[in-house]
Amino acid sequence: MRKIVTVLIVTLLILLIVAAAYSYNPRSGVDPVDISYKGYAYMAEDSLYNKEVTISLKGSYDADKEAFAGAISVNRVSFTDCSLSPYTGLVCSYEGGRIRSGTVYFSSGLKQLSILVGKGPLYSAIEESGTYNGDLVVTIPSFDRASALLIHDMLKNEFQSRQQSGKVPYS
């Protein structure tokens, strides 16, 4: 009887250890992404400029590399074959060519995103006049300029902290 109880206890302990190992699953691997957010574009140099923007992402997110690959739509203008990473910025195919954007910051799983946008097709998708008046910062999700600035600064600080601590992909 004692032997059976000991075997049962050992078996239960092994099952608990295995269950704990499976439940400890840090976010890694590639996950599908199909999201759409409303946010705001603002200019750092012009405190009066803010414009509502809708960004949709459809593709895959690689948590290990902190990178998105897929299609991006900005205010219904579609960009294909895009890659998005804080290490390389935003690069997309558009009308037979490639476009690049500036600095990109985002949270794990792309729940928050901030992109520096310079002159080009991405800028024109946001600023309908097409007239370049200075770089834009697009932050999603946000509901006004103040929340966009706050989220951008938070994402930037998180990224810089990860870099300083050495917690970056490929290192």
List pLDDT tens digits, range 122-135.
999 999 887 888 99
The domain spans of the chain are 31-165
The answer to which of 46-50, 127-131, 135-139 has the lowest mean pLDDT is: 127-131
pTM metric for this prediction = 0.76
pLDDT at 58 over 80: yes
pLDDT at 141 over 90: yes
CB 126 within 8 A of CB 74: yes
Q: Per the structure block, which two tokens stand in for 171?
A: 């290192």
Instruction: Supply the pLDDT for residue 168.
Output: 57
3-class SS shares of the chain: helix, strand, coil, % to 5: 30, 40, 30
Can you name the residues that pair with 79 across neighbouring β-strands? 72
CB 131 within 8 A of CB 77: no
Query: Residue 100's CB: how many other CB atoms inside 10 A?
Result: 12
Stated as kind and residue range, the H or E segment containing 134 is none
